[in-house]
Amino acid sequence: MSDPTPAPAHARLEALTLPRVRTARGTVPMPGSKSISNRALLLAALAQGETTLTGLLDSDDTRVMLAALRTLGVAVDESPVRTRVGGGGFTVRAADIFLGNAGTAFRPLTAALALSDGEYRLSGVPRMHERPIGDLVDALRAWGCVIDHEGQAGYPPLAIRPAGALRLDAPVRVQGGVSSQFLTAILLAAPLAAVRAGRPVQVEVEGELISKPYIDITLNLMRRFGVTVARDGWQRFTVPATPYVSPGTLAIEGDASSASYFLALGALGGGPVRVTGVGADSIQGDVAFADTVKALGAQVTAGPDWLEASGASVADGARLRAFDTDFNLIPDAAMTAAVMALFADGPCRLRNIGSWRVKETDRIHAMQTELAKLGAGVTAGDDWLAIVPPALAGGWTAGARIGTYDDHRMAMCFSLAAFGPAEVVILDPGCVSKTFPTYFDVYGGLVA
């Protein structure tokens, strides 16, 4: 990552025209998982001993995390094949840290810094300042942490000051219904509080916890760094007074959310399209999107570290099966399903996707707006989206210009619309740099 490849040509374009495509075939190595990469970077910084990470994602979100760690005094040594992170925690006690629109960096760093006896200011891009963080701040304040909202209450930017005596006698309670990143942040920081107090820490979830597979990622990585959390269902967690210890070397899996676009390509364009670096042995919940693709009528096979999809080409008249599905567990990959609904044989519904409202953009509003541009009939509610395919709603719109809202997933999933009867224009295609800078180059090498 210290010597990144040149930015793809589309990174500088205001718009990228995708011609109509008919087929897709090939094999794609997945870039590292964003969720695993940023968790692993923070854990490596907090752990005793140096950690070597291989397969780390090189993207906007990981770069802001790496920059933050360096600002906080963590030793980081990068090469194209590995990243070494010196452990021992943060040595800088006062810093102003910019974290872009990276929720996987902002939320966990907030919790870790709140327990680090320093004065810190955390800020991001304007959209980050619209993404809620009040539930996390309230939970940390219950521990005795000192955090102030510098702007609107409940939102960044934040000012953090040294905490006094921690209050750990009662379980800390955190809301589970807005973002699983709040619980992830509390869990990742909890060993710091437990070691400081010399006693286990208990964490309780208020309400129904969404996106549970992302908590599984957090707990799995904590175990790799020597901390095993006891879980009572999804409502109560007990974190021991055990310090993080480096595992030495940790390989980062390929990104399962990004794999969803390529599984969809195989299902829509004949295939086979195979992704490598993530498969049946993955710790990421989004590998379950393979089951969604299969339910839509495609053929899916899997190995320990690969997934493959194929199906009849929709450009030749084939249609996917209509669906009515609860996507609470895989909200990011669900965006791919929403665009696949354009090619279904009947109306489709995505349910339990309320977390879309507080992502990089309000994804329910964005998806409703952009799917309608293509000719789909789209209705939406607080936590659902219903889609009537263009073929059943009056026909496809030619030359639709798809807004991406500075949201990487909007750009990538709407590339699938090029299997329709007309070219598609993707506005601000460079926004994919958040997680997959070379996405459109890879996509172009697979489709015909």
One domain for residues 404 and 354 = yes
pLDDT for residue 164? 83
How far is residue 327's CA from residue 164's CA, in Å, rounded to a whole number?
41
What tens digit of pLDDT does each residue of 264-276 get?
Answer: 999 999 999 999 9
One domain for residues 39 and 177 = yes
Q: What is the mean pLDDT of residues 54-69?
A: 96
One domain for residues 284 and 153 = no
Does any domain span residue 168?
yes
Does any domain span residue 322?
yes
CA distances from 50 to 34, 67, 92, 248 (A): 21, 18, 18, 7
Number of domains in the chain: 2
Q: What is the mean pLDDT of the chain?
A: 95
Does any domain span residue 3?
no
pLDDT at 4 over 50: no
- Of 251, 282, 298, which closes a domain? 251
Does any domain span residue 4?
no
One domain for residues 103 and 115 = yes
One domain for residues 409 and 261 = yes
Does any domain span residue 1?
no
One domain for residues 69 and 194 = yes
pTM: 0.92
pLDDT at 8 over 80: no
- DSSP-assigned beta bridge partners for residue 326: 351
The CATH number assigned to the domain holding 225 equals: 3.65.10.10
One domain for residues 334 and 393 = yes
One domain for residues 274 and 220 = no
pLDDT > 90 fraction of the chain, expressed in percent and rounded: 96
What phi, psi does 349 have (nearest 5°)? -140, 135
Does any domain span residue 441?
yes
One domain for residues 381 and 414 = yes
What is the side-by-side strand order in the sheet with 51-54?
76-78, 83-85, 51-54, 249-251
Q: Which residue has the tokens 């991001």?
A: 124
Give the H/E segment covering residue 308. Answer: strand 306-310
* Nearest of 342, 346, 345 to residue 397 by alpha carbon: 342
Residue 332 a catalytic site member: yes
- Of 209, 224, 251, which closes a domain? 251
Q: What is the mean pLDDT of residues 316-325?
A: 97
- Residues spanned by the domain of 203: 34-251
- Residues 214, 219, 223, 227, CA torsion sign: positive
CA 416 to chain centre: 20
One domain for residues 370 and 436 = yes
Of 58, 332, 407, 428, which one is the catalytic site residue?
332
* R_g of the chain, CA atoms, integer Å: 22
For residue 312, the 8-state DSSP code is -
- Of 200, 216, 251, which closes a domain? 251
pLDDT at 2 over 50: no
Strand intervals (E) in 176-266: 201-206, 230-232, 236-239, 249-251
Does any domain span residue 357?
yes
pLDDT at 11 over 90: no
Q: What is the mean pLDDT of residues 196-219?
A: 95
pLDDT at 61 over 80: yes
Q: 218: how many CB neighbours lie within 10 A of its CB?
A: 24
Does any domain span residue 2?
no
One domain for residues 342 and 404 = yes
- β-strands 424-427, 401-402 pairing: parallel
One domain for residues 240 and 260 = no
Lowest-confidence region among 72-76, 77-81, 336-340, 368-372: 77-81
pLDDT for residue 10? 66
